[in-house]
Amino acid sequence: MFTVKGIPASDGYAIGKVLIKLEVKISKQDNSEVNTESELEKLNKSLAISKAQLQSLYEKACIEVGEKNAAIFESHITFLDDPEFIGEIERSIRENNITAISSIESVTNGFVAIFESMEDEYMRERAADIKDVSIRIIKNILDIKQEFIISKENTVVVAHDLSPSDTAQMDKSKIIGFVTDIGGKTSHTAIMARTLELPAIVGTTNATEFVKDDDTIIVDGIKGEAFIDPPEDLIDEYIIKQKLYKEEKEKLKSLKNLSLSYKDNRKILLAGNIGEPNDVDKVLENGGEAIGLFRTEFLYMNRDSMPTEDEQFEAYKAVLTKMENRPVVIRTLDIGGDKQLPYLEMPQEMNPFLGYRAIRLCLDKTYIFKTQLRALLRASLYGNLAIMFPMISSLDQVEKAKSILDECKNELQNENKEFNSKIEVGIMVEIPSSALIAEEIAPHVDFFSIGTNDLTQYTLAVDRGNENISYLYDSMHPAVLKLIKMTIDAAHKYGKWCGMCGELAGDPAAIETLVSYELDEFSMSASSILKAKKKIFEILDK
């Protein structure tokens, strides 16, 4: 048996079989003695395999996500048939006497540069496709397993890291736990695992080196330990732990309908964070009274083009309808940083977390922002919607975002399309500057929601996903707490409410402090809601 230790990222226990998601590293090519014919043969063989793979992916995707979303695979097939692209690769192998991989890499770079320089947005977006296809061809030359397909029940996914687009593609119904080499408590894998109520360990450094597919694994998401090839008696021990854990969870369910208030009767709202409409069910099952954060970026992932206004409208309407007039805070697109879109060419940045992302991107690419705002406004008729802007660092950004929202309202009015004209508009306070000027911003918004995941990383200059410095990532650091208190006080001074949708809101160790600051809304992963309710109830009862 091997034991792997990491950061406990999501509670619970899992006993299942490993499925590894490997990173692909392409080593530098040696072009000193190349046999051109054999390289051409490798290329042709790989093209045939790639085509067959894409064809079957296309057929599978048509059934699972519909023809429109499957079209990306069809467009990849056309690249494999493109005489200019493939012909150029062949010519370069022959004329430059280099390996098939070197030739694919250099020809792809040339094509990508051409596509990226085109005027037409659609053509620019094709650069990402050609990169994808090239990687597929290269992987097949190297005989590297391509698709990450979860076909068995009780799968524990072990990966170096999981990006939002990785997880968007997974069949989550078969997954029972996650283990990753990198990441911290607020990295994507951790947040997603808590949303799905699945145990997870992140930041193990090297779990992928110790496991192979189909190994038996126990994931202890409470201690942050995974056991590979465990003996029978340990499995038995964990079966009992699992049973007790489930019973404890059931007991907490008795608090589901508990409603909490401060001594002066001001309501304390317990809310859930979601990434897609289906996540609403778990929030309600766990006694959530509102959605405090809908991370809409997931609607934009795992597809080959921007979601249309109508597609977004349907998703927002679905959430609002399921929530039956309970408050729903929907955050506008927070892309960039660790969340990339394959079809949106983004600049390569030295510091993506400090870069062109979220509201910065939306205020620049207003066609993306307006499509989303129009969809949100139209959906506002179906429930109690509030709109929230992420990554605000100045008052100017609030004013610009609000004026674009007004533009959308005017457009809809002119088109005789109805919406609720009294939607609340707020911002995420997740950059220290906005906490420091919260008093100036408060009169211009209806609410604040404190994003402690980013507020902590930006205040302490500690990357939230870097396991090597995770010991420095402390959302209870006095500096972070000071900013939190300033934000809540500023909101209250202007008669506005203040919530928190960062992970700290559901941290039992922080709740007493947050209650003492009189936070109005606590929004967290569904799996944390009942424990938080219990904790707040106990504090208020003292």
For residue 503, state whether it binds Mg ion (rule: CB under 5 A).
Answer: no
Nearer to Mg ion, 373 or 455 (CB): 455
The interface region with Mg ion, picked from 106-114, 131-139, 451-459, 485-493 by CB under 5 A, is: 451-459
Element (H, E) at 177: strand 175-180
- Residue 327 near which of ligand PEP, Mg ion, none (CB within 5-8 Å, type-dependent): none
CB of 250 to Mg ion, least distance (A): 33
Nearer to ligand PEP, 322 or 339 (CB): 339
- Residue 336 near which of ligand PEP, Mg ion, none (CB within 5-8 Å, type-dependent): none
SS3 102: helix
The interface region with Mg ion, picked from 129-137, 272-280, 321-329, 446-454 by CB under 5 A, is: 446-454
Residues 327, 373: Cα–Cα separation, whole Å: 18
- Residue 134 near which of ligand PEP, Mg ion, none (CB within 5-8 Å, type-dependent): none
Give ∠ CA 100-104-106 in degrees, rounded to 5: 120
Nearer to ligand PEP, 93 or 358 (CB): 358
- Residue 279 near which of ligand PEP, Mg ion, none (CB within 5-8 Å, type-dependent): none
Nearer to Mg ion, 39 or 430 (CB): 430
Q: Residues, the chain, total?
A: 542
As a 3-state breakdown, the chain gives helix, strand, coil percent values, each rounded to 5, of: 55, 15, 30
Nearer to Mg ion, 384 or 456 (CB): 456
Could you tell me if 512 and 239 are in contact, meaning their C-beta atoms sit under 8 angstroms apart? no
CA nearest 194: which of 336, 98, 293, 341?
293
Give pairs for 455-459: CB < 8 Å, separation 24+. 455/429, 455/430, 455/431, 455/480, 455/483, 455/484, 455/502, 456/186, 456/480, 456/502, 456/504, 457/186, 457/353, 458/430, 458/431, 458/432, 459/432, 459/483
Catalytic residue among 362, 408, 498, 501: 501
- Residue 501 near which of ligand PEP, Mg ion, none (CB within 5-8 Å, type-dependent): ligand PEP
CB of 11 to Mg ion, least distance (A): 22
- Residue 8 near which of ligand PEP, Mg ion, none (CB within 5-8 Å, type-dependent): none
Nearer to ligand PEP, 8 or 502 (CB): 502
Q: Which is it for strands 13-21 and 155-159: parallel, antiparallel or unpaired? A: parallel
Residues 312-331 that bind Mg ion (CB under 5 A): none
Could you tell me if 224 and 237 are in contact, meaning their C-beta atoms sit under 8 angstroms apart? no
Dihedral sign, CA of 139, 142, 143, 148?
negative
- Residue 502 near which of Mg ion, ligand PEP, none (CB within 5-8 Å, type-dependent): ligand PEP
Binding site for ligand PEP (CB under 6 A): 293, 295, 334, 430, 451-454, 501-502
CB of 203 to ligand PEP, least distance (A): 17
Nearer to ligand PEP, 430 or 446 (CB): 430
Residues 429, 401: Cα–Cα separation, whole Å: 15
- 501 is known as an active-site residue: yes
SS3 326: coil
CB of 501 to ligand PEP, least distance (A): 5
Token reading at 258: 């508990």
CB of 440 to ligand PEP, least distance (A): 21
In 10 A of CB 183, how many CB atoms? 29
Give pairs for 460-466: CB < 8 Å, separation 24+. 463/353, 464/184, 464/186, 464/187, 465/182, 465/183, 465/184, 465/186, 465/187, 465/188, 465/338, 466/182, 466/184
Residues 101, 85: Cα–Cα separation, whole Å: 14
Residues 6+ apart with CB under 8 A from 391: 334, 357, 358, 359, 360, 428, 430, 431, 454
Nearer to Mg ion, 31 or 352 (CB): 352
CB of 293 to ligand PEP, least distance (A): 6
Residues 140-169 that bind Mg ion (CB under 5 A): none
CB of 443 to ligand PEP, least distance (A): 24
For residue 499, state whether it binds Mg ion (rule: CB under 5 A).
Answer: no
CB of 97 to ligand PEP, least distance (A): 49
CA nearest 521: which of 331, 291, 343, 311?
291
Token reading at 2: 């091997």
CB of 58 to ligand PEP, least distance (A): 32
The interface region with Mg ion, picked from 283-291, 310-318, 438-446, 454-462 by CB under 5 A, is: 454-462
CB of 13 to Mg ion, least distance (A): 29
34-59 in b/e form (b: 16+ CB < 10 A) is bebeebbebbeebbebbbebbeebbe
Q: Which of 430, 446, 467, 503 binds Mg ion (CB under 5 A)?
A: 430
Could you tell me if 483 and 435 are in contact, meaning their C-beta atoms sit under 8 angstroms apart? yes
For residue 454, state whether it binds Mg ion (rule: CB under 5 A).
Answer: yes
Position closest to Mg ion via CB: 454
- In Å, how far are 433, 456, 498 from 484, measured between CA atoms? 12, 10, 10
Phi and psi at residue 181, to the nearest 5° = -70, -40
- Residue 464 near which of ligand PEP, Mg ion, none (CB within 5-8 Å, type-dependent): none
The interface region with Mg ion, picked from 67-75, 163-171, 262-270, 427-435 by CB under 5 A, is: 427-435
The interface region with Mg ion, picked from 138-146, 433-441, 445-453, 483-491 by CB under 5 A, is: 445-453
- 188 is known as an active-site residue: yes
Count the site residues for Mg ion by CB under 5 A: 3
Nearer to Mg ion, 208 or 273 (CB): 273
Catalytic residue among 76, 188, 362, 498: 188
Nearer to Mg ion, 326 or 339 (CB): 339
Residues serving a catalytic function are: 188, 501
Contacting residues toward Mg ion, per CB under 5 A: 430, 451, 454
